[in-house]
Structure 1
Amino acid sequence: MEFDMVAAALRQDAADVATYARVLTVTLADVLPPGSVTVEYERSLGDRLKGREGHPSRIVVRLGERTLSLTGGHRPVAEVHHEVRGVVLSRDQVSLDVWVQALARELVAQAEADARAAEALRRLVTGA
């Protein structure tokens, strides 16, 4: 699986936090280890009264020593953290493009180690 193809597919599919949440929790569910993606939701009073989960406001992806977070709003805030045993060694606020590249790099590394992950990435890239 080529890094550039995965990054292009992620850029194409994601315009906001809600779309990334869908891509990471549905399309790439086979790629990611259980518990590696956390989605936080913002719920209005109407959402609470009607039992809806609300809309995704933040997504956190933990893969190895990297933690990638994307917080929604008018302008999404993307961060890449280097974390070892729960201790954050560095925290960088990056552009959305850099965040997508870091995510694609981690996903490709995951796919190289797991045949199911490679197949899920192929489906993302080809749209099948």
Structure 2
Amino acid sequence: MGAELEPTNGSDGMDVELLAAALRQDSADLDVYAKVLSVSLVESLPPGAVQVERKRSMSDRVAGREGTVTSLDVALGELRLGLRMDRGRPIGEICKEVRGVVLSRQQVGLDEWISALARGLADSAASSARAREALQRYLGG
């Protein structure tokens, strides 16, 4: 992706809009987008922060392919972000979870989900050097 995060005037010190634009890249083809995003996040974030579910057809199994991404769950502190594919349509969900208890749950569209993911990643990066390094790896910087 090749973008670098630059400090902004915001309190979190991260350019959330730049990050959101990087996350939106290639979202026109939802199957490809879900696959690329899931792989990128799994490689960039700490183990266990991203859960990916896939549906594997018989031809996927025979060919040794991983299958189609059907859901993606990202845990960023108390923020839980879920993205599910339902008949080719993305359904986003933003949850606030404290000690395993969901305090709020909101269904959102893809753009709002991506913006929430960008804010969550930027907030994590602002509070943790490890998270910032992971975010820089994701952006290719």
Same fold by TM-score, threshold 0.5 exceeded? yes
What stretches of structure 2 of length at least 5 have no aligned partner? 1-13
Q: Which amino acid letter does the alignment assign opposite residue 71 of structure 2?
A: R
- Work out whether residues 93 and 107 of structure 2, in 8 Å CA contact, stay in contact via their aligned partners in 1: yes
Displacement of 1:51 in angstroms is 4.0
- Work out whether residues 51 and 74 of structure 2, in 8 Å CA contact, stay in contact via their aligned partners in 1: yes
Residue 102 of structure 2: which of 88, 96, 105 is its match? 88
Q: Aligned pair count?
A: 123
The answer as to 2:54 corresponding to 1:37 is no
- Work out whether residues 81 and 92 of structure 1, in 8 Å CA contact, stay in contact via their aligned partners in 2: yes
Moved over 6 A (4+): none
Q: 1:42 to 1:75 in 2, by over 3 A?
A: same
What CA deviation, in whole Å up to 9, does each residue of 1:6-62 have, x standing for no partner?
A: 111111144432222122123xx1xx2320100001011222344432121110001
Q: Which amino acid letter does the alignment assign opposite residue 76 of structure 1?
A: P
Aligned-residue sequence identity (percent) comes to 50
Distance across 2 between alignment mates of 1:40 and 1:60? 9
Secondary structure of 1:121 counterpart: helix
Secondary structure of 1:33 counterpart: coil
What stretches of structure 1 of length at least 5 have no aligned partner? none
**TM-score when normalising by structure 2:** 0.75
The answer as to 2:24 corresponding to 1:11 is yes
Distance across 2 between alignment mates of 1:85 and 1:119? 26
Secondary structure of 1:106 counterpart: helix
- Work out whether residues 21 and 59 of structure 1, in 8 Å CA contact, stay in contact via their aligned partners in 2: yes
Residue 121 of structure 2: which of 103, 107, 112 is its match? 107
Distance across 2 between alignment mates of 1:45 and 1:66? 35
Displacement of 1:116 in angstroms is 4.0
RMSD of equivalent CA atoms: 2.0
Q: Larger deviation: 2-11 or 51-60? A: 51-60
- Work out whether residues 90 and 109 of structure 2, in 8 Å CA contact, stay in contact via their aligned partners in 1: no
Distance across 1 between alignment mates of 2:38 and 2:90? 13
Q: Which amino acid letter does the alignment assign opposite residue 69 of structure 1?
A: G
Displacement of 1:3 in angstroms is 1.1
Distance across 2 between alignment mates of 1:4 and 1:14? 16
